[in-house]
Amino acid sequence: MRAPLLPGITGPADVRGLSTSDLVGLAREIRGFLVDKVSSVGGHLGPNLGAVELTIAAHRVFDSPRDVLLFDTGHQAYVHKILTGRQREFAGLRQAGGLSGYPSRAESVHDVIENSHASAALSYADGLAKAFALRGEHHRRVVALVGDGALTGGVAYEALNNLGAAQHRPVIVILNDNGRSYSPTVGGLAAHLRGLGDGAHAGNLFADLGFAYLGPVDGHDLAQLDDALRQAAALRRPVVVHCLTRKGKGYPPAEQDEDDCLHTVGVVDPATGRPRSAGAPTWTSVFADEIAAIGADRPDVVCLTAAMTHPTGLGEFAARFPHRLFDVGIAEQHAVTSAAGLAVGGLHPVVAIYATFLNRAMDQVLMDVALHRLPVTFVLDRAGVTGPDGPSHHGMWDASILPVVPGLRLAAPRDCGQLREQLREAVDVADGPTAVRYPKAAVGPDIPAVRRIGCCDVLREDPAARVLLVAVGPLAGPCLAAAAELAAHGVPVTVVDPRWIAPLDPALVKLACAHTLVVAVEDTAATGALGGRLAQALSSAGSDTCAVTFALPPQFLPHASREQILRAHGLDAAGIATTVLKRLTRPEEASA
């Protein structure tokens, strides 16, 4: 029996020191390591299993960190982390205080950019190559390992346009072509890459843009990869090395995963890739059921996704109405403007997208949808604190940005019943855009309302209350628990769910004026949150009510569970109650 190789890998130099015959065994060990570690804590499994040999070859041929290796998207960087000496930290992968699921500059000098949104690495590569040239660092090379799905994003083409024209700046693009991003790669690019792989195309997009083109190469053959990358390095010009790989390589459950359930996983049985326990209904699954039902009722409703049909809950809609589901690839800007075109054409588009990715298309939301007062509904999954994917994936900006969009109505449902109700309200709006946001979490029980005033639901009412808790979305539960705790301290509290958090409902302003202290509780960035807008409205109304924003700090928050992050920032029942007690002016209440 050969001694394991992986424990001896403490950095890229150890990889370069291995014989060619050792590398196949190392790749096998890495795959076993990934299945073992990721199945026990969760993370991105399929993409990393497919990038094992690519990453080994890149670290053999290039000398990181002198040569810069960039990963697009960063979720395929686990093997890079292993080869740069972080394998012992994988037990804490995506856990609080542990290893990030993406490249992290704080972790290693080998992580140059913290990219986890697709399509950006080629622009970074262009800028780095220019910087090295201007600084006279001609010995440094820039290498971008790009998934084929990332090339469906428009910014990638903007970078290719610049890179291919700069023949004197050697940037090497390793194209990881596995035919998938989350879902199968779509559009003309996918067809072009298939043609290149089959030798069926006389033309070549990359060569036409000015790149040298090498390939296609078997992305799991280390000898071929080594030879192709060394050729690319010797050319000293922009090069695309086209590598054909299989997502999930070496792990049968992932290789056979047509729905990409093993792209990213929670805790699973490593033998089967299936979850160890049945999960509770999630916000995404509730949306999935309701949008399919709406599709049956409304033939004018169409849905768009940016390469995430199943993760955003559109699988059932796609199965029932295949001609009304449009996957545009990882191209959020195009998705939004295409939706605008669908609306101009008389349909009601629903754009299902992660909240963090909508940030990339704000100009289109403003100028292509809202300016034309078009009925487009944005369904924002993973809104607020998302947890283990960290700062790039927390959906904590949309609720601060979207309220500035003229005519846009923004909903934050508190429970399953409200998600269904407000989604239908949103698609019924015909004179402007709407958005519905909800978190990545299990859905709790429905929370009944005492009464409805305007669009707002009063969830708890006390005629003696001087304090009003404005509970945004799923924080209604913690606010009600805090109100009960405050009542035990002799502090009566009314709790209201605004339901639609933009624009402000006049009924909410009127209710707030009847209280001394209003605390708006929201898991979004405090800047631009509901509390600040409510305070401004109260001031304009001449009210002396004190309105307080209780939300997340306007910072990039680390990875941890949703519950841990909310608790750390006081957005749980105990923290909310403590905040209210500290804000009250009566000494006996402040000290309670």
Catalytic residues: 247, 332, 360
Token pair belonging to 17: 């020191």
Q: Is 251 assigned to a binding site?
A: yes
Pick from 35, 98, 110, 97: nearest CA to 71: 110
413 closest CA partner among 441, 374, 375: 441
Which among 93, 89, 92, 31 is positioned nearest to 56, based on CA atoms? Answer: 31
The angle subtended at Cα 387 by Cα 457 and Cα 533, nearest 5°, is 40
Both structure tokens of 226: 């080594």
The Cα 466–Cα 487 span in angstroms is: 12
Distance CA 31, CA 79 (A): 9
Nearest to 530 by CA among 490, 554, 500: 500
Distance CA 286, CA 289 (A): 5
191 is in an annotated binding site: no
Q: Is 75 annotated as a binding residue?
A: yes
Q: Locate 188 and state its tokens.
A: 């003309």
Q: How many Cβ atoms sit within 10 Å of the Cβ of residue 516?
A: 15
Nearest Cα residue to 178 out of 94, 247, 131:
247
Q: Following CA atoms 107, 110, 115, 118 in sequence, which dihedral angle do they give, to the nearest 10 degrees?
A: -140
Tokens for 517, please give them: 């202290």
Contact 503, 590 (CB under 8 A): no
**507 known ligand binder:** no
Look at the chain and count its residues: 592
Cβ–Cβ < 8 Å for 328, 118: no
Task: Match 């003309």 to its residue by tokens.
Answer: 188
Coarse DSSP helix, strand, coil percentages of the chain, rounded to the nearest 5 percent: 45, 20, 40
Establish whether 483 is an annotated binding residue.
Answer: no
Residues 6+ apart with CB under 8 A from 573: 478, 479, 481, 482, 485
**118 annotated binding-site participant:** yes
Query: Is 421 annotated for ligand binding?
Result: no
Q: Which residue has the tokens 């059932």?
A: 316
Residues 286/443, Cβ–Cβ less than 8 Å:
yes
* Number of CB atoms found within 10 A of residue 391's CB: 18
User: Could you tell me which of 67, 211, 71, 70 has the C-alpha nearest to residue 141?
Assistant: 67
**Residue 48 marked in a binding site:** no
Q: Of 18, 118, 41, 37, whose CA–CA distance to 76 is shortest?
A: 118
Going from the C-alpha of 490 to that of each of 320, 465, 487, 592, the distances in angstroms are 54, 10, 5, 9
Indicate the burial class of 554 (C-beta count within 10 angstroms; 0-12, 13-18, 19 or more): middle
Q: Report whether the peptide linkage leading into residue 103 is cis, meaning its omega lies within 30 degrees of zero.
A: no
507 in Cβ contact with 517 (< 8 Å): no
User: Is the Cβ–Cβ distance between 149 and 117 less than 8 Å?
Assistant: no
Feature table: binding site for thiamine diphosphate: 75, 116-118, 149-150, 178, 251, 332
Feature table: binding site: 75, 116-118, 148-150, 178, 251, 332
Feature table: binding site for Mg(2+): 148, 178
